[in-house]
Amino acid sequence: MSEPAIDLHSDAHFMGQALRLARRAYAAGEVPVGAVLVRAGRIIARAWNQVELLKDATAHAEMLALTQAEASVGDWRLTDCTLYVTKEPCPMCAGAIVHTRLERVVFGAADPKSGAAGSLLNLLQFPPLNHRCLVTGGVQAVECGELLRRFFAERRARPRGPAAPDPAPAGDPSQDPEG
Rounded to whole angstroms, the Cα distance separating 179 from 165 reads: 21
Quote the Cα angle for 67-131-70, to 5°: 15
Active-site position among 3, 30, 62, 70: 62
Q: Catalytic: 178?
A: no
DSSP 3-state percent helix, strand, coil across the chain (nearest 5): 35, 15, 45
Output the furthest CA–CA distance in the chain (Å, rounded): 87
Residue at 2: amino acid letter: S
d(CA 31, CA 54): 13
Cβ neighbours, 10 Å, residue 47: 26
Q: How far apart are CA 19 and CA 25, in angstroms?
A: 10
Which string of DSSP letters, residue by residue, matches 124-136?
Answer: GG-TTSS---EEE
Looking at the annotation, which residues are catalytic? 62
